[in-house]
Amino acid sequence: MPLTQWLQISQHDSIALLLQQHMQSVLVERVAGGLSGDHTEFEEYALIQWLDTQGCWAGLDSVSASLALFAKHFLTRRGLYQSQQYWRTNGCRLEFGLMRITVVYCVTPSSHTAAVAIPLADQAIADFYGDLSVLEKATQASVYRLLAGFWRRYEAFVAADSAYAVLGVEPDARWEVIQRAYRQLAAKHHPDKGGDPEQFLLVKAAYDQLKAVKRTT
């Protein structure tokens, strides 16, 4: 079955609400269990597996394995980005890493929360996953090229410990400088603006690594 045909008969529009309800239930269980902290992390793979239990991927096994995997990732991220408004109005923020999503308890719910501007680069990524035509146009060959190129360059980046170099900042750069560099490069390399998809993912990987490092220091 072609991926476009599966999209027409699937219930992918319900994924955002399902994720929102599931993640909220996990947070409630954490509070009930006496677990505290300022954030909770969710593995993307675990969310994809949970969506499978809800029947979201029914029929996708008739699509080629590479396209099915890309579809699960794309639609899961799409749903998460679509649910951001819910989290903002409930005093939380979603942070997107390569393999996990973090719910950060950061603000007090108010009428101002929904009006907070989203940084340009983050909005560009949200727009990428919000554009269903990206998935509709995906082919097995295009997915292979994207993943192969990304992992090849990502492995080189990790081996060389070059996250700072990727973003063009000094190792002692302030976090505000790192954020500004990331936003500029992500906007520059975004595929929707004619940029290089592999470079776009590499910039995002560098930013996520530095964010993780800064959080523990």
pLDDT over 90 at 57, yes or no: yes
**For 36-45, 55-64, 117-126, 180-189, which range has the lowest pLDDT when averaged over its residues?**
117-126
pLDDT digits (tens, 9 = 90+) for 69-116: 889 999 999 999 999 989 988 888 898 877 789 998 875 554 444 444
pLDDT at 155: 58
Domains observed in the chain: 1-116 (no CATH), 139-217 (1.10.287)
pLDDT over 90 at 195, yes or no: no
Spell out the alpha helix ranges (H) of the chain.
Answer: 3-9, 15-32, 44-53, 65-82, 84-89, 120-130, 132-136, 140-159, 163-167, 175-189, 197-215
